[in-house]
Amino acid sequence: MEKKIGNNVSSGAEKVERVEEKKFTAESVNEGAPKKTQKKRAPAKKTAKKPISHQKKAEKKERAAAEKRLDKAQAKAKKKEEKLMKKAELKQKKLEKKAEIKQKKLEHRELVSKRRAERKQKKLEKRAALKEKRVERRAERAARREMLKNESKAEKQKRIAREKKERIALRRRKHDARAKAREDKLKAREAARARKAADKKHKREQKTERKENRRGFGGWLAAVITLGTACLALGAVVTAGAVRMNEISLSAENGARATLYEMVSVSEGLDDSLDKLRVASGAAEQRKLLTDIVVDSAIMESALEKIPVDAATSTDISSFVNRTGAYARMLLGRLAEGKTLTETEKNTIAYLYQVNAKLYGELNTLATTMTERDFRDFLNGGDGSMSQKFGEIGQGTHAEPEEIVDAPFSGQANVGENKLAQYEEISSARGEELAKEYLGGYNVKRAEYTGETIARDFTAYNYVLTDESDAEIFVQIAKNGGKLVFFDTYEECTQKNFDLETCDTLAREFLATLGMDDVEAVWLSDGGMVANLTYVGVRDGVRMYPEMVRVRVCEQRGRVVGIDARGYLLNGGTERDTASDLTESEARQFLSAELTVQSANRAVIPAAGGERMCYEFLCTYGDEEYVAYIDANSGEEVQLFRVRKSAQGSYLE
């Protein structure tokens, strides 16, 4: 059904056009509206008009309120804006911090990955190096096996001896390095202790100075008022102070005396442990004794710090105690590895026992014979008999151990007529000049006098010379006559560039410069790349063992690094009766039939505090070697030595 639309209905467009065409005004709008009839209003009551001033005030008040509301709205808007800005800033900071953390994490991951790659690369390089070393070792072992196949028995013995020497030399270098490190540590400790004492002394002086310079607050009037009271109390104060000082002095004296007794007790314990250790064979007992030695050494070192001895004496005794403790710790380590004590180590133990026995005896004598006056002088730093005794004890710890590579009768030289006593005494300054002359070829740049050594048979000046490489040389010059008694220096010798024969020539040339050209070599041995050579005086073909001089030569550099000429200087030139009732062939008859004589010499040897004329026979029995001494008059077998071979050379038993 169609929707009908009227003819008078126009489109929307037409209506809009008509509206546009017609202008509406208020009058046009009201034209068509019906007119309303106006009612007459009753006349309004007349009200009194407000004054103009009141109206203005109201308007002004209204304007002020409006401005206030406006300011309040603006402040609120500003505050809101600031809050939004602050919130935006915080958000921005959070975003920046988050980005920074993220960046750090990335950098950390990169660093970790880089380090991981480096470690991996190092592992690969290490693995490659180990693989290369294994290949080299396999090649060396193969070459060694090939060499051993064609090696003769003599070459094998030489090789084994050489390898032993190298191992011993390496161990000795390591031991020397550890010993030097301990010595440096001890010196550093002593220096720190000295600095601490100096600081304390300086602080005490400053405190005393401040007290002396401090002024009173009461002025001269207060001083006058207190003067009378001070005078009245002076007597009581002096008396009380004297009593207090006596108490302090007595306390210090008792403490030092107790420390001395403690040192005697500890040295006695060391004596007992070292004595037992010389003959102990069980590993468990040896470990127990060595542990006791380590503990006693530490206690002895602590007690020594409380005794007011001079620095030189303290260093001497401390050095011996520290060496004893360090050696005991080293032996404990060897026993822990399942090893046994060697002959060399037993000889060292015997040496430590001898030195400590002397130390114990001296300390015990000192503790039992000292007087109250000597002890007080000692505590006050005086140079009394007690200080002198402690100095002698410190010097006694310098006794040298018996050499492992030894010659017959070393250390037993007889002193009949002391030849050094006939010379005049020289000054220490002259001794220093002579020391530089004797060692003129050692490029000495500095010399330092360090005191005297008072031995049983002679007195010597001690010097420490320093060469151009800062190596120290310890030298002893005889006070009577100025002869070179002893010198020693340490040089690292790791290569064998000179054989024994060449070292013998070098040693003879050095002895000739000292006027010792009438000597003969009786014992040549090398150990640790150092040749140990022993010479004795010879007259009419007779070896004079009391006139002994021992020389050490570095086989790497080919120069003398040590000499001990005490026997030669004390006994040299003595007239001796060398007549004999027996001939060499007759003396041989007194030897064992099992021995085969290789060589024979006539010799004067020290025996029982005197000297005896003997025949010296170098013999063999199978693979063993012996040295026998037969009295040239009675045929009595005076001494029999067994020659032992080791990596450190030959020595006698």
Could you state, in order of their start, the residue ranges of all structural domains in the chain?
Answer: 74-133, 243-396, 404-570, 577-653
CATH 1.10.20 fits 577-653, yes or no: no
DSSP code of 399?
A: P
Output the six-digit token pair for 272.
């007992």
Output the six-digit token pair for 190.
């002593």
Instruction: Tell me if 490 sits within 8 A of 471, measured CB to CB.
Output: yes
Kindly tell me if the per-residue pLDDT of 511 is higher than 90. Answer: yes
pLDDT confidence of 622, banded at 50, 70, 90? confident
- Separation of first and last alpha carbons in the chain: 152
Amino acid identity of residue 107, one-letter, is: E
**pLDDT tens column, 370-419:** 666 665 665 555 555 555 555 555 555 555 444 343 567 765 555 667 78
pLDDT confidence of 207, banded at 50, 70, 90? confident
Kindly tell me if the per-residue pLDDT of 142 is higher than 60. Answer: yes
Output the six-digit token pair for 268.
């006695």
Strand partners of residue 336: none
Average pLDDT (581-600) is 90
Strands (E), 304-429: none
Output the six-digit token pair for 412.
């037993």
Average pLDDT (71-92) is 90
Output the six-digit token pair for 348.
């060292």
Burial of 453 (0-12, 13-18, 19+ CB in 10 A): middle
What's the pLDDT score for residue 455?
74
* Interatomic CA distance for residues 421 and 455, integer angstroms: 13
* Interatomic CA distance for residues 609 and 127, integer angstroms: 68
Kindly tell me if the per-residue pLDDT of 614 is higher than 80. Answer: yes
Greater confidence, 326 or 24? Answer: 326
Average pLDDT over the chain, rounded to whole?
76
Burial pattern 496-526, b for ≥16 Cβ within 10 A else e, equals bebebeebbebbbebbeeeebebbebbbbbb
Average pLDDT (604-625) is 86
DSSP code of 416?
A: S
pLDDT confidence of 211, banded at 50, 70, 90? low
The three-state secondary structure class of 521 is strand
214-223, 331-340, 369-378, 515-524: segment of lowest average pLDDT: 214-223
Greater confidence, 231 or 58? Answer: 58
**pLDDT tens column, 352-363:** 888 888 877 777
Output the six-digit token pair for 356.
């400590």
Kindly tell me if the per-residue pLDDT of 204 is higher than 60. Answer: yes
Strand partners of residue 319: none
What's the pLDDT score for residue 243?
42
What's the pLDDT score for residue 631?
92
Kindly tell me if the per-residue pLDDT of 312 is higher than 50. Answer: no
**pLDDT tens column, 252-311:** 555 566 667 777 788 888 888 888 787 676 777 788 888 889 888 888 777 776 665 554
Which helix (DSSP H) or strand (DSSP E) does residue 215 occupy?
none
pLDDT confidence of 239, banded at 50, 70, 90? very low
What's the pLDDT score for residue 200?
76
**pLDDT tens column, 464-497:** 898 888 888 889 999 999 999 999 887 778 888 8
Handedness of CA 21, 23, 29, 32 (dihedral sign): negative
Which helix (DSSP H) or strand (DSSP E) does residue 149 occupy?
helix 52-149
Strand partners of residue 629: 616, 639
**pLDDT tens column, 31-56:** 554 555 555 555 555 555 555 678 88
What's the pLDDT score for residue 24?
46
What's the pLDDT score for residue 381?
54
Amino acid identity of residue 500, one-letter, is: L
Output the six-digit token pair for 224.
């006058």
Cα maximum dimension of the chain? 192
DSSP code of 425?
A: B
* Interatomic CA distance for residues 269 and 267, integer angstroms: 5
